[in-house]
Amino acid sequence: MRNEAEKRNLRERTIQLYCSDVSYFLRWIGKNVSDLTLEDAESFLTAKRLEGRSPETHNHYRSAIKFLYKKVL
């Protein structure tokens, strides 16, 4: 993840947040990266929204997961 983010010249703080958010997502889902589905991402994001996460936090999660699915997997 870090390597792909660095290739795209993302800021260090963005890379740190993406890595942290994706790590949290993977622990929450409890699956290997190779077993992820789009439904896993939707389930996670819906749960976080229903927990009352701020829109900014929700957007951070969404951006990190989107980067994982589109650029890394």
pTM of the model: 0.91
- Residue among 56, 69, 68 at smallest CA distance from 20: 68
Q: Kindly give the confidence (pLDDT) of every residue in the chain, 73 residues in length, as a single tens digit, with 9 standing for 90 and above.
A: 999 999 999 999 999 999 999 999 999 999 999 999 999 999 999 999 999 999 999 999 999 999 999 999 9
The Cα-based distances of 20 to 64, 65, 68, 71 in angstroms read: 9, 11, 12, 16
12: CB partners within 8 A, 6+ apart:
none
Q: How many whole angstroms separate alpha carbon 73 and alpha carbon 71?
A: 6
Domain 2-72 has CATH 1.10.150.130: yes
| Structure token digits, residue 12 | 């260090």
